[in-house]
Chains A and B, each alone.
Chain A
Amino acid sequence: EAGVAQSPRYKIIEKRQSVAFWCNPISGHATLYWYQQILGQGPKLLIQFQNNGVVDDSQLPKDRFSAERLKGVDSTLKIQPAKLEDSAVYLCASSRRLADADTQYFGPGTRLTVL
């Protein structure tokens, strides 16, 4: 089966600009996650969707970050306006269902550099 797809793979922008990342999960996976991975750190969950509904967005900086999964399949994460500290790899993951210990499958990530 095809894995989690993400685009773009790399993005360089200047601070105060906006940027959007796209994720297409594994077919049939109901749960989708967006993580932020700052250099030297482990991934940190930003937002979690179950189908097209938000399960948890408690760690999403909502003044500048937004995410949607309108049709319950692919998802977009947006940053507007970007700050220097947003430089990171943004990982998308999916799992079959919202269940305990269900394996999360990760995409290759989008590396964002904010200048």
Chain B
Amino acid sequence: AQSVTQPDIHITVSEGASLELRCNYSYGATPYLFWYVQSPGQGLQLLLKYFSGDTLVQGIKGFEAEFKRSQSSFNLRKPSVHWSDAAEYFCAVGRNTGNQFYFGTGTSLTVIP
């Protein structure tokens, strides 16, 4: 069965510091992986996705993620966090038939000045 684990419920970083959000997945075949961001009162916005090719994926807002098959991970990174990055971040795995997504429980990011 497909599943996604985001081990960190909440992370606090200082503005300008680097960020890494962890995501581990369980899926029997080659996964399609996504990171979404959700600001308060808003829907989910796609940051980036991986489905094949280069394992380092670039996304919007300066985010990147690296797919590591051996570790079943797809961690999200940003070299320098801005106050506007404070939000909830969700990792998701897409089933390779039917385009159904399975989301993790999310990581809440707080950015302090």
Residues of A at under 8 Å CB distance from B? 3-4, 31, 40-45, 48, 55-56, 91, 93, 95, 98-109
Contacts and interface: CB of A to CB of B under 8 A. Distances in A.
Interface residues of B, number: 25
Interface of A is mostly: loop
B43 A91 contact: yes
Contacts of B94: 100-101
B44 A31 contact: no
A100 B103 contact: no
Nearest to A55: B98
Contacts of A42: 4, 90, 92, 103-106
B81 to A, nearest CB: 22
Contacts of B90: 42-43
A110 to B, nearest CB: 11
